[in-house]
Structure 1
C-alpha cells in the first residue's frame, strides 16, 4: 500500500488502519498506560519460584448446568462455563463471552495451561447461541477450536475488537464477524446494542505479534438492564471504570475478572486483583458482579482458593454484601436480581 495522511506502512498481519490515540500505525497501546513485561521479566517470573500447587484433580460439587432454551421478561441469567466463558441469557437472546471449551489454553494441544474442572455447560447442552463476544486474542479468551465449533453448530454473530477477525477466520473463514474499535456501537436486536469500551490490557498469539490486535471491554444494553463485560484488565487507577459509569450511568451486572494476579510486579498492568475488582465495582456503579478468571486454568502464582478468600476480605472491608459480587464456579447459575 502507499502511504496516506494519517496512515503508516506496516507489517501488521491482522489490521491496517488510521493512526489514533491508541494505535500508532503498527501496534495498539494503552494511552498513558503500562506496557506488558518483556521476555526478561517473563523469565524472571517463571524461574523465580513461588507458584502454588493446585490440587489435581479439582473436585467440583456443582454438576454441569442444562440451560433453558431462552429467558424472557425481566430475567437476566448468567451461567458459568469456566474462566471468562459465561452464557448470558436476557431478552430472549443467548450470548457467550470469550468461549473456551478446549482442554488447554495454548498454541499447542499437548502442553500449556490445562483445564482444572470440566466446562460448566456441556457443549452439546448449549441453547441456540445468537451472539459471541471475544474480548482479545490471548489463548484463554480466543480459542479457535471452540469458535469453529460454534460457527458450525450455531452460526452466531461474533463481535471482537479490531484485528481479531483475521485470527478467527483461520478457523471459521465464513463466520459472521464484526470488528469494533473503542467507542463503536453495534445494534444487535430491538432494544439491544453492544458498545466496545477501553480496558487496560494487551494482545499476542506468539512472539512476533504483540499488541497488533486490539483488546476491549463490552457494554451490552438490553431492555432488562446494562451488562458490562471485561475479559481482562489492569486496574489503571480505575480510569476506565469511571469513564464507563459516566457514559452508561451504571450497570445491573458487571462481569469482572478478579483472579490470575500474582506476582503483582509482573501482573499489575494486565490483571487486577480482588481488591481492585471491588473498587471497580464501586466506580462503575454495578449493582451486581459475576466474578471470573479463577479456579479453571492455572495461569499465575496464587493458590486456587486465594482469589475467593481475598475477595471476601475486600468486600467486608468495603461493607458490600457478598451476594452482590458472586465468584461463579463452573456450572453455577446466577439469576441477577432486578435493580
Structure 2
C-alpha cells in the first residue's frame, strides 16, 4: 500500500481517492482559487460596509447543564460555533471565542457580534466537532481554554490534531477519514465528505482534511456542515443515500459573495435550501453569517436571501432558521 510522502507535516497515511500522498482534494471537484484570483477579488471593490458592533436580542444565553434523552437543543454562539445538547451530552462545533478570526491578534476579521454564550456560562463540554483548520473554525486560543476548563474530546478529520497538539499538548482527539465513525457515549459521529479545502499558512494548503459530520443518537440523526461548496449537490445526496432521512441539518448560509470567487467552496442560501431538500432533513439551522466579515455580502444579507428563497420554494421560515447569537431552538421531534 502506497504511503504519504514526508512533505506533509500534519498527516502521513495511505493514498486514497481524496489524498495524493501530500494533499487532500475533492474528487472530481474544484480546486480553491489561486493568489491571482485572490488579488482580483480583494482589489475589485464591491464589499458591503458592516457595522462595527451588533448586539443580539437573544444574548447572552445561559444554557441548562444537560438536555437528556431524545430531546435536541441547538444554541447559536456565533459564526460556525453552536452548542448542541442531546442525550445528556454537550457538543460544541468549531469553537471560536476570540475577537479575531486570524493568525494574529492585531489584524484580520474582527468579531462584530459578541458570543451568544459567555465562555464562563458554558455547561460542561463533552465533545468538540472540529470540521477543518481555517481560522474562523479552528481557534487554538479557544481550544486551549476548553481543554483547561472542560477537557473535551475533539473529533476532527485527519491532520487537524497535529495543528493543535503543538500548542495544546493535553487535548484529547479522535481523528477520522471520510467514511469513518467515532463513538462517544450514546452517540456515533460519522465523518462525511464535503467540498472545501484547508490552510493555516502559505505552504500547507489542503494538507489537513475537511469533513461534515452526521451525529447519530437517541434524537435521530443530525448533519453538521462547517463549510462546503454545493458541488452539484453531491455532499447532500451522499448523506441521504447512506443515512436516510435526518431530523435536522446545520448548514452554512453565508460568506458567498462574489460568486465567481466563492462558489466552489461556499454555498449561498439558495444552495443551502437545495441541500436541505436533497439530504432529507426535516429542519435546518443556518450558520456562518453575521459574526466575522469574510466576504462581500452585507451582514444581514444571508437571512434576508434565505427567507426570500424559502418563500420562492413554498417553504415556511420555521423549517430553516438562521439563528442569531444566543438564540436557542428545541428541534421538533
TM-score normalised by structure 1 residue count: 0.97
1:145 aligns to 2:141 (yes or no): yes
* 1:177 partner SS: strand
For 1:299 and 1:34, the matched residues in 2 are separated by 20
For 1:293 and 1:143, the matched residues in 2 are separated by 15
1:60 Cα deviation after fit: 2.5
- 2:61 is matched with 65
- 1:182 is matched with 178
* 2:166 partner SS: helix
1:266 Cα deviation after fit: 0.4
For 1:63 and 1:157, the matched residues in 2 are separated by 27
Q: Provide Cα deviations, 1:6-59, integer angstroms capped at 9, x if missing partner.
A: 124231110011100000000000000010001000000000000000012223
Residue of 204, 225, 228 corresponding to 1:230: 225
Counterpart contact for 1:147–1:171, Cα < 8 Å: no
- 1:273 is matched with 268
- 2:240 is matched with 245
- 1:38 is matched with 34
1:130 aligns to 2:126 (yes or no): yes
For 2:32 and 2:68, the matched residues in 1 are separated by 42
1:204 aligns to 2:194 (yes or no): no
* 1:151 partner SS: helix
1:96 aligns to 2:92 (yes or no): yes
- 2:112 is matched with 116
Counterpart contact for 1:245–1:283, Cα < 8 Å: yes
For 1:259 and 1:6, the matched residues in 2 are separated by 39
> What is the RMSD computed on CA atoms of the aligned residues?
0.8
Counterpart contact for 2:131–2:137, Cα < 8 Å: yes
* 1:171 partner SS: coil
1:296 aligns to 2:303 (yes or no): no
For 1:163 and 1:143, the matched residues in 2 are separated by 15
* 1:12 partner SS: coil
Counterpart contact for 1:289–1:326, Cα < 8 Å: yes
- 2:44 is matched with 48
The unaligned stretches of length 5 or more in structure 2 are none
For 2:183 and 2:145, the matched residues in 1 are separated by 25
For 1:7 and 1:305, the matched residues in 2 are separated by 46
- 1:221 is matched with 216
Aligned length: 333
For 2:57 and 2:84, the matched residues in 1 are separated by 22
Residue of 152, 159, 172 corresponding to 2:168: 172
For 1:96 and 1:171, the matched residues in 2 are separated by 20
1:63 Cα deviation after fit: 2.3
For 2:61 and 2:18, the matched residues in 1 are separated by 40
1:73 Cα deviation after fit: 3.5
TM-score normalised by structure 2 residue count: 0.99
1:287 Cα deviation after fit: 0.5
